[in-house]
Amino acid sequence: MQIKILGAHNTESRDSRLAGLLIDDILALDAGSLTSSLSFEEQLRLKAVLLSHHHYDHVRDLPALGMTLYLNSSSLDVYCLSDTIEALSACFFNGMICKDFTRQPEGKPVFRFIPVSPGVGLEVRGYHITPVNMPHSVPSAGYSITSPNGERLFYTGDTGAGFAGNIAHISPQLLIVEVTAPNRFTAFGHSNKHLSPMLLEAELSAYKKVAGCIPRVIAVHLHAPFEEELKEEMSQVASRLKANISPAHEGMVITL
Ligand SMILES: [Zn+2]
Ligand SMILES: [Zn+2]
């Protein structure tokens, strides 16, 4: 399984892109950077998108992707919680700011939204996927993904503290986890349900108690202005836990 980091940040600039990962060129996790990172050919190669939740930085490129697909008579399956479908239908695909790609073209709409339920596994293009409830400020799903060859990763999407117990039994080889802000914002992270390195350390320690070891960890959703501080604090966590923790960057490729 090849995982490409399209967006490693929670704000966008010339040098940073919003949340998004690409698996084996066909499966996308979150849609904050799908059109800004992929060529038209790569966009048309996508077979499915899994959305963690409806916050802007995770869904922003869907209307632009919809237009690419629409103009090429193509369509795509989008998997997400029913709350996410409701929010996107109300705010994006209501016919006001872009075409309603969930209904157009008639008979073969661009986007087919498929609701997922936490704990209920599904097969998508040969990948076994299990959505897991994540503690965030709106309903949010993380995804356990097992490739046709048996490689396993877990992607948290946005999350606050308290998820380790929900995923330790999955034993992924790779954990792609959000770490948004440095330790001095831990109180902010607690109330807004995001992680700091300190909160990540507590989660990984709790995870290790159940699973016995800590998988390789890639941190995403970094707040770019504080990136150096975040990297320093995460390297201290890695050294205390004797764990392999790397900050993600746009264009990073991981092979399992
Ligand atoms: Zn969020
Ligand atoms: Zn976010």
Find the 57 Cα to ligand 2 centroid distance in Å: 5
| pLDDT averaged per 10 residues in sequence order, the chain, 256 residues | 98 96 98 97 98 98 97 98 97 92 95 98 97 97 98 98 93 97 91 95 96 97 96 98 98 98
Spatial contact of 111 and 75, defined as CB atoms under 8 Å apart:
yes
> Residue 10 carries which DSSP code?
S
**Residue 58 and residue 31: Cα distance in Å, rounded?**
5
**Residue 205 and residue 124: Cα distance in Å, rounded?**
32
Residue 57 CA: which ligand is closest? Answer: 2
Greatest alpha-carbon pair distance for the chain in Å reads 57
Domain span including residue 133 = 2-255
**Residue 254 and residue 256: Cα distance in Å, rounded?**
7
Residue 173 confidence (pLDDT): 96
Query: What 3-state DSSP class applies to 224?
Result: helix
Find the 22 Cα to ligand 2 centroid distance in Å: 17
Strand ranges, E, within 43-200: 48-50, 76-80, 111-115, 122-124, 127-134, 140-146, 152-155, 174-178
Q: What domain count does the chain have?
A: 1
Minimal CA–CA distance to 221: which of 178, 252, 191?
178
Spatial contact of 6 and 17, defined as CB atoms under 8 Å apart:
yes
Find the 179 Cα to ligand 1 centroid distance in Å: 12
Residue 241 confidence (pLDDT): 98
* Residue 164 CA to its chain's centroid (Å): 17
Residue 190 confidence (pLDDT): 84
The Cβ of residue 181 has, within 10 Å, a number of other Cβ atoms equal to 24
Find the 111 Cα to ligand 2 centroid distance in Å: 22
Minimal CA–CA distance to 8: which of 178, 230, 182, 254?
178
The single-letter code of the amino acid at 174 is L
> Residue 212 carries which DSSP code?
S
CATH of the domain at 161: 3.60.15.10
Residue 168 confidence (pLDDT): 87
Query: What 3-state DSSP class applies to 248?
Result: coil
Task: Compute the Cα dihedral for 87, 91, 94, 95 and give only its sign.
Answer: negative
Find the 221 Cα to ligand 2 centroid distance in Å: 6
Find the 123 Cα to ligand 2 centroid distance in Å: 26
Residue 122 confidence (pLDDT): 97
Q: Is the peptide bond before 109 cis (omega within 30 degrees of 0)?
A: no
